[in-house]
Structure 1
Amino acid sequence: MILAANEFLRHADRSPDAVALLSSQRTWTYRELAESALHLAERLTRLTPPGSLIVLDASELSAGVLALLAAGLSRRALLPLDQSYPQARCAAVLGDARPVLALRDNGSGGGLTVDALPHTSQAPPRTGLEDVAYVLYTSGSTGDPKGVAVSHEALGARLGGLAQAPGLGAGESMLALTALSFDISLAELLLPLQVGGTVVAAPAKARMDPDLFAEVVGRHRPDVLQATPSFWRLVVAARWKGLTSSRIWCGGEALTAPLAQRLLPLAAEVWNLYGPTEATIWASAQRVIDPGDIGLGQPLPGTGLHLTPLKAHEPAEPDAETAAEERADGSIEGEILIHGAGLAEGYLDREELTADRFVRFDLPEGNRRCYRTGDLGRLHRDGRLEFLGRLDQQVKIRGHRIELGDIEAAFESHPAAREAVAVLLPGDEAAGRAAEVGLAVVLAPGRHTTARELRKWAAERIPRAWTPGRMTVMDRLPRTPAGKTDRLALRERLFAADARP
């Protein structure tokens, strides 16, 4: 964050009275926020050695939180902690991370309190992270939290790239809506300060309340609104009228054609963004013009995307018919690799995992350190890169290769459906249970249908072998604090429920 902090301080020096932060409590100028940031940096220097890991425990964005980020942490690393996570997960994260101290929002809208954290002699507080800007814990599909360490250099490079594409300019504003434990929040908080813009702070409740979201957006009219597809579905279902002067950034999950179709009339621009935590916020962006053509777009400046051969990841070769189709259209499928200045350093204390996921490859640009995303992509003849889902969601059941994304799209096309999520339910030989696909469908407000009717609809659109073995209609999907679908929780729910037809 040091590079971002330098840009912020330059803007504070040139335009001290410009608005840096708009919140429900008050308005903060660049001068006021810079003074708070420098004071906090001095305080941290007195309290902790360089390279210390510091917990940020706050549910709401405040001037103190923003000052902490803008201060660049004086060679300290930040660990955002989400208070909505279960206590056991928070304990597991803190035990693995071993932070030196915690900074907590004191509720005044501007200050942070300092709390010491207990440690054992076997696990001393973590230091030695002078080059690390922040650490974020991610579980992926395993449910096992692992800390992703992102350097000051990677963060600075990514913010510089985002300022160019999708783009944010001096004097523009961006809504800060996302929980601090989700890395896209850093774009909302730091990108406006880097370019001389304004952060518009939304209350935490707005993440689940589309009416409150609409009220905040209508009052402040931010230039950029960023959220996950799950959140945008919630907003669209609540009949949000849109803000046609704004630009929507959508990422964190796959953007579907039906959702894109509904978002396009609501804003001046709609952008599909792609990138895992290990690639620092986002790695590529595409402006969506045609809902039927949603790809990953172009890599952000300083970033590259490539594919590895698909057959290296498949347990069996595709059948001859599939292979012929792939040769005929000229496309190539494989795991998406990301390289460039935005890559994370790796995982805390996970040398083996780091070595497995961050690998050097010989690419057209030369030998590069790449992150193996675990995402499946298709490169078309015309250069378009299409996201096909997770490699661990490319499943084979009874000899059939099943695309979970295609199953979801078929059910989402039903007029009564708002969202559909398919998951693989592994088999258990001891229990006599075969592997199968589970599906949850959320209905649009005021719409009614049954699982049987939805199956009949999908039977005309997907192969019989793809039909979900377990299916349920739900009021809402389980979510992570980042707003994504909690697929682990959904899998457990489908296992526990009698969700068969």
Structure 2
Amino acid sequence: MTTIRDAFEAQAARTPEAVAVRATRTYTYRELSALVDALRESILGRTPAGSLIALDAEGQASGVVGILAAAAGGCAVLPLNRESPSAHRARILADARPALLLTETAECAFDLESLPDSREPTMSDIAYVMYTSGSTGRPKGVLVPHAALLDRLAGLAVTPGLREGDTIAALTAMSFDICMAELLLPLTVGASFATMPDDVRYDPGTFEDFMAMHRPQVVQATPSFWRMMIAADWSGAPDTVVWCGGEALTPELARRLLSRCAELWNLYGPTEATIWVTAARVESPDAISLGEPLAGVGLYLEAASDGVATDSQPTAAQMGEIVLYGSGLARGYLDRADLTAERFPVVAAPDGITRRVYRTGDRARYRPDGSLEYLGRMDDQIKLRGHRIELGEIEAVLEEHPAVTSAAAVLKDAGRPDHSSIAVFVTTRGDAPAERALRQWLAQRLPASHLPSRIAVRDVLPRTPAGKVDRVLLASE
């Protein structure tokens, strides 16, 4: 089996003295390889191959050393979100049951802690486990094999493309799977990545300085990030290719970005299909599409009946749920055989071939010119400021509060991404807790990305004639 570490080492053998990482100092491929080997020895001294290793890294340089060292030791890595509240982090660790915790103590240096009650070491073919929001309140771990990761990186190297000697900016948090494109893609093609500290990500002025210093050929970020930069009068980077994904790219944002960069690409992809699956070069703000599937990606639209996709003999449609297949699919969900079977069924695809597919829950349609237009979600999952959020997870956590009897979370201003926000409506027993108390309850249990901008207490929640909560009405308030 070929791993991401093997792909890196093959490139290191070709360009040992080329710069691989630009952080507080530069690291050549040879130096990075030595760091990976040293950490690998430490890992195998504490846990067997096939183990799951939790990675708590602040910097991307340390992050990539941890990922590659885990792979070198035949282990899978679980990137942790340093910004998550302790209760949310504890919930993920309890579900994943890693054998070892790697905690960054300095750039590319780690403390290793063995953890109790770890799972059996059966993950030698898994590159990483990435946790996403879960509708039941239980986050779910997506198992991404090395084969899927390498397949996807090979496709991205071609489209949108990254070449030997290029630099890509690394600004995405380790717990967001698109960071794998920033950290690992360059190391497979002889390019480098430049680490972007947290203060730069949130300060438009220092972002301008970062761009001037490193002059990256590629910068990848969510539409929300680019809106923040443009609102702060970012002058642009005329020689830089911008990759934009994680949420819908609007015509207005595209218009503003096109005048500020060399090329603009719209990317789409769920974690379960490994980073990105489609890419489209945007040349006009009036013609934004999801583009073409990357190499190795199969895609079709499945018509839905009463809002529910058919379970067998799917028929290709001009409008419907995006269904993906190919070698880039994740293995499924950690310890969730029922959910894995539901979302990754084996079906007879429209071309007559029986395949394992992934039902994305995303809707799209083919325009008359053949381009693919994104239409939004089929369920209660949303994308907000680049974060994939199950509204059901927010509701489930609120309903754990002893005073809350029911909760409904909705996305307000869904058609205006610049103004979109989450609002929550609750009913309570006895005296209603103050909004501040409910907000504190959520803040202790969910990442900041999941916190609503508004919490309102109601005597009852409005219902549709079918007896369901009328979320459309709530979203319009």
TM tier relative to shorter chain: 0.7 to 0.9
Contact kept? 1:98, 1:126, Cα under 8 Å? no
Alignment RMSD: 3.1
1:65 to 54, 57, 63: 63
User: Are 2:143 and 1:149 aligned?
Assistant: yes
Pick closer, same or farther for the CA change 1:334–1:8 going to 2, 3 Å. same
Q: Distance in 2 between matches of 1:127 and 1:225?
A: 36
- Residues 42-441 of structure 1: pairs in structure 2 closer than 5 A: 42-62=41-61, 64-71=62-69, 72-107=71-106, 109-119=107-117, 124-139=118-133, 143-313=137-307, 332-363=318-349, 364=351, 366-392=353-379, 408-409=414-415, 419-421=418-420
Unmatched segments (≥5 aa) in structure 2: 310-316, 383-409, 431-442, 459-473
1:15 CA drift (Å): 2.0
1:60 CA drift (Å): 1.8
Q: Distance in 2 between matches of 1:263 and 1:228?
A: 12
Superposed CA offset, 1:62-117 (max 9, x none): 3x43222234232200000011101110000000000001111112x221111122
Q: Distance in 1 between matches of 2:303 and 2:59?
A: 44
Contact kept? 1:65, 1:112, Cα under 8 Å? no
Superposed CA offset, 1:172-208 (max 9, x none): 1100100000110011000000000011111122222
Q: Distance in 2 between matches of 1:9 and 1:423?
A: 45
SS in 1 for 2:451: helix
SS in 2 for 1:104: strand
Q: Distance in 2 between matches of 1:235 and 1:384?
A: 29
Q: What's the TM-score once normalised by structure 2's chain length?
A: 0.80
Q: Distance in 1 between matches of 2:270 and 2:217?
A: 24
1:7 is aligned to 7
1:493 is aligned to 454
Q: Distance in 2 between matches of 1:337 and 1:204?
A: 35
AA matched with 2:15: S
Q: What's the TM-score once normalised by structure 1's chain length?
A: 0.76
AA matched with 1:372: R
AA matched with 2:116: P
Contact kept? 1:149, 1:347, Cα under 8 Å? yes
AA matched with 1:222: P
Contact kept? 2:101, 2:115, Cα under 8 Å? yes
Pick closer, same or farther for the CA change 1:387–1:355 going to 2, 3 Å. same
Contact kept? 1:161, 1:301, Cα under 8 Å? yes
Pick closer, same or farther for the CA change 1:140–1:241 going to 2, 3 Å. farther
Pick closer, same or farther for the CA change 1:489–1:149 going to 2, 3 Å. same
Contact kept? 1:135, 1:148, Cα under 8 Å? yes
Q: Count how many residue pairs are aligned between Structure 1 and Structure 2.
A: 414
Unmatched segments (≥5 aa) in structure 1: 316-330, 396-403, 413-418, 432-477
Q: Distance in 1 between matches of 2:274 and 2:223?
A: 19
Pick closer, same or farther for the CA change 1:209–1:388 going to 2, 3 Å. same
AA matched with 1:358: F
1:257 CA drift (Å): 0.9
Q: Percent identity of the aligned residues?
A: 45
Q: Distance in 1 between matches of 2:144 and 2:240?
A: 30
1:445 is aligned to none
Contact kept? 1:179, 1:481, Cα under 8 Å? no
Contact kept? 2:412, 2:422, Cα under 8 Å? no
AA matched with 2:365: R
AA matched with 1:66: V
AA matched with 1:167: G
My pick for the range that moved more, 377-386 or 281-290, is 377-386
AA matched with 2:218: V
Q: Distance in 1 between matches of 2:357 and 2:48?
A: 32
Contact kept? 2:425, 2:455, Cα under 8 Å? no
